[in-house]
Amino acid sequence: MLCLTLALCLMTSCHEKEEEKVLDITGSWTLVDLYEVGTRAVSIGSYEIDVTLVLTAGTTLTEGTFDLSQTVGEGRARTFSGTWTLAETTLSGNYSDGTSWGSSYEVLLSDDKSQLTLTSKGEVYVYKKQ
């Protein structure tokens, strides 16, 4: 009976630890690849795209604020900010004016936590941690 009780306690402890595992996507990320699923790389004409995304945690690792800087070619940088929420592996958010993002993103974080892949509507965005 003692063995059964001990086994149940250990299984409960392991299960709780698995549930607590939350992806830590916070940090400063640089876009290194952008493509459509099943096709070659997406480009905007012949222009290079430079994107930096900074995700800062709020009170937990499942929500926080973001700052995004985007430059296409030699154009001026455009910046965006707002809030984000991570529900399991789905990232969504709102811009600072309250407008929600055009879509949510499925998140994949590499085992070494150096690469963040966001997928939405057939487009794949690959970021490297700075």
pLDDT tens digits, residue range 56-70? 999 999 999 999 999
Instruction: For the chain, give every domain's residue range.
Output: 23-129
Q: What per-residue string of b and e applies to 66-88 under the rule 16 or more CB within 10 Å gives b?
A: bebeebeeeeeeeeeebbbebee
Q: What angle do CA 115, 79, 129 make, to 5 degrees?
A: 15
Report pTM: 0.79
Q: Which long-range contacts (CB under 8 A, 24 or more apart) does 75-82 make?
A: 77/50
**Residue 27 · residue 125 · CB < 8 Å:** no
Rounded distance between C-alpha atoms, residue 58 and residue 22, angstroms? 14
Q: Residue 47 pLDDT more than 80?
A: no
Topology classification of domain 23-129? Lipocalin (2.40.128)
